[in-house]
Amino acid sequence: MTDPTGESADGALRLDFDRRLMLRFRGAAITSDAGLLAFRELDDALGLTAAAGAALADARTGRNGRHALVGLLRQAVFGRLAGYEDVNDAERLRRDPAMRWVVGDRAVREAAASASQMGRFETEWLTRPENLAALADLPGRWIDTVHGRRPPRIVVLDMDSSESPTHGEQEGSAWNGHFGCTCYHPLFLFNQFGDLEHCALRPGNVHSADGWRAVLEPVVARYRHAMKRRYFRGDAAFANPEIYAFLEAEGFQYTIRLPANAVLQASIGWLLRRPVGRPPHEVRRYHASFRYRAGSWNKARRVVAKVEWHPGELYPRVGFIVTNMTRPAERVVAFYNRRGTAEQHIKEGKGAIAWTRLSCRRFAADAVRLQLHALAYNLGNFLRTLALPAEVAQWSMTTLRERLVKIGARIVRHARSVTFQMAEVAVSRNLFQQILAAIAALRPSPPAPARC
């Protein structure tokens, strides 16, 4: 940054998705979301929303197709990424310069979609069964595109559920005793990069593992022949012999928390006796591994136990994990403990993307909203994991929105170009340039010229 007011004497930056755009860091705030252009650049480099628009069925007839479906989808996804999760926000956003360039096409010359148009898009067109199914598959298709540019050597899937509080007479709303509120009970499946592979909205009173197959099976099918090292982690809610058998048949290694019972505790009885001597001042951990077969299982499976004696506590903390991994017990426990990152991803989705804001009365409309939130979350996470320089690689989704998305900019129009004069405060020109360079590296290489 060369000047605290946001002025920079360096040359303009260019965007590949539309060469008429120039970015000059000479900012006075007119749009507060100029950082969305970096996400739009990533979207263009990977071809995410363009492919998504092609997957949706357009149910409009006559001359009411004023905005292309891909433009409406961009407005819905990028709006949520910027913190505008309500359809009513579109009435103001439709004239925001950054949003108009993100949407593209006719919105650049006139305006983006209005609140009524976005309402019909989300609650009527996208709630059609074929479009809702296509929306649910889009996170996986986007992740496959990213993996094509960043091939992973392994895949680790973490499944967990959460609550989305409801109000009034919303379809599917029910009291959930575990969460202590009236809510929906969505199910999420993440990979090791924090990408949301699949999610599903469920009524509030279902079991945490209800519908696991519909969420897990499509993801497992995508990775069936992609790589050999595949893993799954889940908490005690997913301690289900059908899940074990499914993962074993698919060649997945898994670690799943197992609820304690008298038989399991008897198998490690010698570890549950208080150690002889003075109580230690540090935590003492012990591990054990044994074979166990519950009455509902078709065969015995390996169970790993962890026993912790904490200073000042009369009884030990005991946990059991069922697994088909062959690594030592301590490493099995360490691998399972990293499952906690899934809970952190859910917290980020709640805080930064507000995917618990499901306020429609119809269940199908709220299911659409959850899928749109999932796409916004993934787009933000893609930029975080693919394009952020090392010095800011640890930014949370909330920090990413507050510092990168929320860049104030003044727009200056010229005969052949449009300049965004961007404030250089939280994000410097050099940092923004590094992000654009990382995104440019993700673009497919141009084909080699043919030899004569």
- 116-171 tens-digit pLDDT: 999 999 999 999 999 999 999 999 999 999 999 989 999 999 999 999 999 988 99
Residue among 1, 13, 29, 11 at smallest CA distance from 422: 29
Instruction: Say whether pLDDT at 26 is over 80.
Output: no
| Contact yes or no for 157/339 (Cβ under 8 A) | no
Output the pLDDT for position 5.
34
Residue with tokens 């991803």: 345
Same domain, 367 and 324: no
Instruction: Say whether pLDDT at 38 is over 60.
Output: yes
> How far is Cα 178 from Cα 204, in angstroms, rounded to an integer?
10
> How far is Cα 240 from Cα 363, in angstroms, rounded to an integer?
28
Same domain, 298 and 385: no
Domain that holds residue 423: 13-129+363-440
Output the pLDDT for position 59.
67
**For residue 34, what pLDDT band results from cuts at 50, 70 and 90?**
very high
Output the pLDDT for position 3.
42
> How far is Cα 348 from Cα 342, in angstroms, rounded to an integer?
10
Instruction: Say whether pLDDT at 27 is over 80.
Output: no
Same domain, 21 and 125: yes
| Contact yes or no for 173/155 (Cβ under 8 A) | no
Rg (CA), the chain: 25
**For residue 7, what pLDDT band results from cuts at 50, 70 and 90?**
very low
Same domain, 304 and 383: no
Output the pLDDT for position 444.
85
Whether residue 225 is contained in a domain is answered as no
Which runs of consecutive H residues, i.e. helices, occur in 197-326? 212-223, 241-249, 262-267
Higher pLDDT, 414 or 396: 396
Whether residue 7 is contained in a domain is answered as no
Whether residue 352 is contained in a domain is answered as no
Whether residue 134 is contained in a domain is answered as no
Which of 331, 351, 372 terminates a domain? The answer is 331
> How far is Cα 119 from Cα 406, in angstroms, rounded to an integer?
25
Whether residue 33 is contained in a domain is answered as yes
Domain count, the chain: 2
**For residue 448, what pLDDT band results from cuts at 50, 70 and 90?**
low
- Residues 337-365 have a mean pLDDT of 92
| Contact yes or no for 299/271 (Cβ under 8 A) | no
pLDDT digits (tens, 9 = 90+) for 169-189: 899 999 999 999 999 999 999
Distance in angstroms between the alpha carbons of the first and the last residue of the chain: 49
Which whole-number Å values give the CA distances from 426 to 42, 141, 429, in the listed order? 20, 33, 10
Query: Residue 266, Cα to own-chain centre: how many angstroms?
Result: 41
Residue with tokens 């390996």: 302
Same domain, 327 and 370: no
- Enumerate residues 6+ apart whose C-beta is below 8 A from 421: 24, 25, 26, 27, 28, 409, 410, 411, 412
High-pLDDT (> 90) share of the chain, %: 71
Output the pLDDT for position 62.
57
258: helix, strand or coil: strand
